[in-house]
Amino acid sequence: MSTTTERPTPVATAAPAARPARVRPRGESSPPARALSHGILILAGLIALFPVAWIFYVSLGPDKSDYLHAGGILGKLTLSNYQHVLFDTDFFTWFGNALLVSGVTTVFGVLLAATTGYAVSRMRFPGHRPLMWSLLVTQMFPIAVLIVPMYTMLSDLGLLDSYLGLILVYSTTTVPYCAWLLKGYFDTIPVEIDEAGRVDGLTPFGTFWRLVLPLARPGLAVAAFYSFLTYWAEVPFASTFMLSSDKYTLAVGLQTFVSEHDAQWNLMAATAVLIAIPSAAFFYLVQRHLVTGLTAGASKS
């Protein structure tokens, strides 16, 4: 049925012609419909790609107003912006700060959240429902509700403009979120495994530590990656609490190129590309797990 099209897919040609012509096998469609699908996907793909490609292109132009005369960039492609950003600015400091803060937050969040996720997944105890509710409600906190009291608290404790302060602030959202995510993952591990452990004489902690935690490694990884990527790119708290330029994270540092007086768009673009490359690479490495981890709790319970 598809031998005459200009786009014969291997699947289509392999399909037996024995099926009634009226109802096509699922997932296959007529040539025009398929062409339309490809057309829509190509268009959507271009829209998704364009802004990212554009900032890369702009980053190759040497002048700060080059983005206004995009055609001109072709004639003077240069890597000088990158050179300037890498060697004449605090890029590596910001990079290190972002790595440190989001890395420590992630480890802290996942470690603390793991036992709680397990407890709410497996055990019923007085206070279970309020705890689940508060885990859900903390997801809803608009930054405005915590940012002011956090600011006064941290300034009382002398933790403004310090890594520890920012890590504590990030923990407010990452700990409940990880607990939530891990609860969803623990729900997918059969309870029979726990029961087998108990029969063999393990305590609940022993069951958790020796049997369930090793099985939940993918879930832990998802929680870790997710919070890492979130705090890697967090803006409002970082730009409010980190005051001196040697403490900036990347999200804050990037904004310094564009001030009211002088907008160095070309340097900003180059920095943006430098930030985007590692995080996108990291994201693509883990995205398959990210998706299953995100939907596991919802679809399997």
Partner 1 sequence: MSVAVQGATGKGSREREPRPGLLERVKRSYAKHWYAYAMIAPVVLVLGALVIYPLVEGIWLTLTDANSLNVARKIGVNEIPASYNFVGFHNYADILWGPGSYDRFWSHFIWTIAWTAICVFLHYTLGLGLALLLNKKLRGRAVYRMLLILPWAVPTFVTVFSWRLMLSDGGIVNGMLSSLHLPQPGWLTDPLAQKAAAIMVNTWAGVPFMMISLLGGLQSIPAELYEAAEMDGATPWQRFRYVTMPGLRTVSSTVVLLGVIWTFNQFNVIFLLFGTGAPDTQLLVTWAYRLGFGQIPRDYAQSAAYGVILLSILIVFTAFYRRWLARTEQANG
- Footprint (CB under 8 A) of partner 1, residues 136-165: 136-153, 155-156
For partner 1, which stretch binds (CB under 8 A), given 72-80, 81-89, 135-143, 216-224? 135-143
Q: How far apart are CA 74 and CA 71, in angstroms?
A: 6
Among 1, 100, 107, 112, binds partner 1 (CB under 8 A): 112
Residues 182-241 that bind partner 1 (CB under 8 A): 183-184, 187, 191, 203-205, 208, 229, 232-233, 235-236, 240
Among 5, 89, 172, 256, binds partner 1 (CB under 8 A): 172
Question: Min. distance of Cβ 217 from partner 1 in angstroms?
Answer: 19
Nearer to partner 1, 93 or 230 (CB): 230
Residue 55 touches partner 1, criterion: CB under 8 A: yes
* Cβ contact 173:139 at 8 Å: yes
For partner 1, which stretch binds (CB under 8 A), given 73-81, 83-91, 216-224, 263-271? 263-271
Nearer to partner 1, 245 or 287 (CB): 287
Residues listed for the chain = 301
Question: Min. distance of Cβ 262 from partner 1 in angstroms?
Answer: 15
Residue 275 touches partner 1, criterion: CB under 8 A: yes
Nearer to partner 1, 68 or 196 (CB): 68
Residues 15-34 that bind partner 1 (CB under 8 A): 23, 26-29, 34
Q: How many CA atoms lie within 13 A of 202 on its CB side?
A: 16
Q: How far apart are CA 175 and CA 192, in angstroms?
A: 28
Residues 282-301: x where in contact with partner 1 by CB under 8 A, - otherwise, as a string: -xx--x---xx-xx-xxx-x
Nearer to partner 1, 9 or 83 (CB): 9
Among 81, 97, 105, 171, binds partner 1 (CB under 8 A): 171
Residue 104 touches partner 1, criterion: CB under 8 A: no
